[in-house]
């Protein structure tokens, strides 16, 4: 009897065979096969078994827990400055200066001495999505400095950006000595486009993950597995918009395994979690680093 798994000509999409090798797995075969109705039952059973294999694969990754960073090179300093809310300036050892979500002029959490936009000399400006508290002053800083804005390709068109690098989830961009990976976030945007986070990888093998606005999501399993972020700038402000501090803390215990956790997107407005809320949620987690807006820290 035909099932929704069949197409109109009786072809069945076979799930890929997955071979387990310790914590690794690989797909060895994927194809479309045709058959008659007598083999439907076997095919459905095969698909169920394959689906169970896929589920087992994800469960295995989760059960294995966060993987430690494999890097073993001497650290090369990474300088991180929180500018309040989700805005950061990140400077690599090689001098690549990346501004992320530069909401500055109207950001209540940005200290006065960091309000003057002429002090920013970014190599590129990364925007996780086009809400005002993230796009912020990106266009003006880009015009003043010539730095390209990195943002979802759809929003390059929507915002009519002339100096931009359009990207999307899974994409990779190199700026100076930093490689930027675009990873999923669970959040909305205005009109076209999507929200995402960025993983920056550095020459010493370490990586920094800016989660963007998000809730905990299963894609973080693969962000951890692929990029093993050492420093996580995690959304933790809660309120009606994003994950709360408790969820962020749970995420760091169960999926991600950084050596440094820098919370953000809290305390900007009364509707968001306070610093005390964040500290309470992370309890005695020594990896938590509460940043003071405007004060650089080197890791």
Interface with Zn ion (CB under 5 A):
133, 213
Which CB sits closer to Zn ion, 89 or 213? Answer: 213
Which CB sits closer to Zn ion, 85 or 228? Answer: 85
Helices (H), the chain: 40-64, 132-135, 138-145, 153-158, 219-227, 245-254, 275-282
Enumerate the β-bridge partners of residue 100: 88, 126
Q: How far is the CB of 287 from Zn ion (least distance, A)?
A: 23
Which CB sits closer to Zn ion, 222 or 241? Answer: 241
**Three-class SS state of 73:** coil
Which CB sits closer to Zn ion, 133 or 204? Answer: 133
Q: How far is the CB of 286 from Zn ion (least distance, A)?
A: 27
Rounded to whole angstroms, what are the CA distances from 270 to 65, 114, 136, 152?
Answer: 35, 22, 20, 30
Count Cβ atoms below 10 Å from residue 226 Cβ, excluding itself. Answer: 13
Which CB sits closer to Zn ion, 49 or 271? Answer: 271
Q: How far is the CB of 213 from Zn ion (least distance, A)?
A: 4
Q: Which two tokens stand for residue 246?
A: 């408790």
Q: How far is the CB of 103 from Zn ion (least distance, A)?
A: 8
Please state, in angstroms and rounded to a whole number, the distance separating the CA atoms of residues 207 and 183: 13
Q: How far is the CB of 100 from Zn ion (least distance, A)?
A: 12
């Amino acid at each position: 009897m035909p099932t929704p798994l069949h197409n109109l000509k009786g072809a069945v999409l076979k799930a890929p065979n997955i071979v387990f090798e310790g914590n690794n797995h690989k797909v060895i075969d994927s194809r479309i096969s045709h058959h008659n109705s007598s083999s439907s039952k076997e095919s459905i059973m095969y698909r169920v078994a394959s689906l169970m294999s896929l589920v087992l694969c994800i469960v295995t990754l989760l059960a294995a827990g966060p993987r430690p960073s494999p890097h073993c090179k001497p650290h090369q300093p990474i300088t991180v400055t929180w500018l309040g809310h989700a805005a950061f300036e990140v400077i690599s050892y090689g001098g690549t200066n990346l501004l992320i979500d530069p909401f500055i002029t109207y950001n209540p959490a940005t200290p006065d001495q960091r309000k003057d936009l002429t002090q920013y000399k970014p190599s590129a400006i990364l925007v996780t999505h086009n809400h005002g508290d993230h796009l912020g002053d990106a266009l003006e800083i880009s015009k003043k400095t010539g730095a390209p804005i990195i943002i979802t390709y759809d929003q390059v068109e929507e915002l009519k950006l002339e100096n931009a690098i359009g990207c999307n989830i899974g994409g990779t961009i190199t700026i100076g000595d930093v490689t930027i990976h675009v990873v999923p976030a669970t959040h909305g945007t205005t009109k076209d486009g999507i929200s995402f986070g960025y993983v920056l990888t550095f020459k010493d093998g370490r990586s920094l993950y800016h989660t963007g606005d998000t809730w905990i999501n299963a894609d973080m399993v693969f962000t951890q597995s692929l990029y093993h972020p050492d420093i996580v700038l995690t959304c933790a402000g809660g309120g009606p918009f994003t994950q709360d501090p408790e969820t962020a803390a749970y995420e760091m215990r169960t999926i991600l395994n950084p050596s440094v956790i820098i919370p953000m997107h809290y305390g900007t407005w009364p509707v968001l979690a306070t610093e005390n809320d964040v500290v309470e949620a992370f309890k005695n987690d020594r990896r938590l680093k509460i940043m003071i807006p405007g004060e650089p820290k080197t890791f």
